[in-house]
Amino acid sequence: GVGLLIHIYSTGYMHDEADYSRYFTYLNLFVGAMLILVLADNYLLMFVGWEGVGLCSYLLIGFWYTRKSASDAGKKAFIVNRIGDFGFMLAVLLLFVTLQTTDMLQVEDALAHDKVSVGVMTAIALLLFVGAVGKSAQVPLYVWLPDAMEGPTPVSALIHAATMVTAGVYMIARSSVLFTLAPVAAVVVALVGVLTALFAATMALTATDIKRVLAYSTVSQLGYMVFAAGIG
């Protein structure tokens, strides 16, 4: 629904752009990758969509790459998200080594019948959370989101609406069984969520650029979501 509205708005907003077709190529790739992420029934396929969303966000934020500010913002988003993605990748590998599967239903079934140490579950959950911190712009990996406003306005709407930035919260929710078995990780998730909500709200109060105010407001709301996911 949000993607359709942004596509419709973009036809007019980007009409006079020389790279009109390139913009819509990136936009459709973004939506496709997001659908893969959301509809995936195993962590490996989710990671493919996760990476696709990250790549497309870099291309869209830096769409006007001739501007230094847009180019720098795109690079910042790419680098910060790769930090989170590395954690996600390690979590998937550790999950496969431990349970010999990445299928979500099989993971739940295996955890119900097999005894896995709390330490291993905590490591998997925390590594997954590192991925969520990068994608959902939590402290300390929030720095890319305020600068993401350098892209075209429809891109800002797409990233700040219920798509990319909520992917991390969605992943935590889909992995709730893992966090239930790793109470320490769940506490860390809740604490980071609270810290992000308070910090970003304070930053929004001091910001003077209206776009940055909106960005910090988004980060703050994401903090509330992460906190809710952490307390179950």
Per-residue pLDDT reduced to its tens digit, 40-77: 999 999 999 999 999 999 999 999 898 999 999 999 99
pLDDT of residue 92: 97
> How open is the CA angle 210-84-89, to the nearest 5 degrees?
150
Report yes or no: 63 and 23 within 8 Å, Cβ to Cβ: yes
pLDDT of residue 162: 66
How high is the mean pLDDT of the chain? 92
Tokens for 88, please give them.
């996600």
Burial of 27 from C-beta contacts in 10 A (0-12 / 13-18 / 19+): buried
Is 3's pLDDT higher than 80?
A: yes
Report yes or no: 49 and 29 within 8 Å, Cβ to Cβ: no
Range 82-102 average pLDDT? 95
> How open is the CA angle 29-33-36, to the nearest 5 degrees?
145
Confidence of residue 102 (pLDDT cuts 50, 70, 90): very high
Give the number of other CB atoms < 10 A from CB of residue 67. 12
